[in-house]
């Protein structure tokens, strides 16, 4: 069960303390696209482009890892100036390993940021990658993702309860 738990949570990928992550030795960031960097199926916008540029200027390497097809992922990644892995079959390890190979990082120097517990977070945690769960931009999603979100609720409730107990002790 603990492999399902994120290492941390953030309201948004845009509100994470990246300077702290860099100070902790992280050098590569794996991002999900939809509901993490932009609304589902939305193109890259000025905010996402300048955000990724700032991260690269800080010294991070960035790779987008998505279960979507090449057309969606390549177009988005090219627009933000990042590398990409499409049809990643998350939570399988293949996409994460490919991203680390592209960036020249390993699980100890890589962070994964995404909005889905059973794909983004679980896949990263299974490999020992530091994982940050973000809140989705919207819950108006495909039916299979809405079903997964229902299954995520009790797991997240347990995680948050354990976090709260840890903070009190």
Exposed (0-12), middle (13-18) or buried (19+): which is 49, by Cβ within 10 Å?
A: middle
Neighbours of 55 (CB within 10 A): 19
For residue 119, give the DSSP letter.
I
Looking at residue 2, its pLDDT comes to 64
Q: pLDDT (tens digit, 9 = 90+) per residue, 10-61? A: 999 999 999 999 999 999 999 999 999 999 999 999 999 999 999 999 999 9
80's CB contacts (< 8 A; 6+ apart) are 37, 44, 48, 49, 52, 62, 64
98-151 pLDDT, tens per residue? 999 999 999 999 999 999 988 999 999 999 999 999 998 876 767 777 777 777
* pLDDT value of position 160: 77
Q: What is the pLDDT of residue 167?
A: 77
For 11, the domain range is 2-168
Q: Give me the number of domains the chain comprises.
A: 1
pLDDT tens digits, 78-111: 999 999 999 999 999 999 999 999 999 999 999 9
Given a contact cutoff of 8 angstroms between Cβ atoms, the answer to whether 99 and 86 are in contact is no
In this structure, what CATH number is given to the domain that contains residue 77? 3.40.50.1000
Q: Of 66, 62, 72, nearest to 102 (Cα)? A: 62
H runs (alpha helix) in 40-128:
46-58, 70-80, 93-103, 122-126
């Amino acid at each position: 069960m603990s492999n399902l738990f994120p290492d941390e949570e953030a309201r948004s990928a845009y509100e994470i303390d990246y300077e702290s992550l860099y100070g902790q030795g992280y050098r590569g960031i794996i991002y999900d696209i939809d509901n993490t960097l932009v609304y589902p199926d939305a193109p890259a916008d000025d905010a996402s482009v300048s955000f990724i540029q700032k991260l690269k200027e800080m010294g991070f390497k960035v790779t987008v890892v998505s279960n979507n097809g090449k057309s969606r992922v390549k177009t988005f990644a090219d627009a933000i100036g990042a590398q990409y892995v499409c049809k990643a079959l998350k939570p399988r390890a293949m996409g994460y390993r490919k991203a680390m190979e592209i960036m020249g990082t390993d699980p100890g120097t890589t962070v994964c940021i995404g909005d889905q517990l059973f794909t983004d977070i679980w896949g990263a945690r299974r490999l020992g990658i530091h994982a940050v769960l973000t809140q989705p931009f919207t819950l108006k999603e495909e039916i299979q993702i809405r079903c997964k979100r229902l299954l995520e609720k009790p797991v997240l409730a347990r995680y948050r309860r354990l976090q709260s107990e840890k903070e009190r002790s």
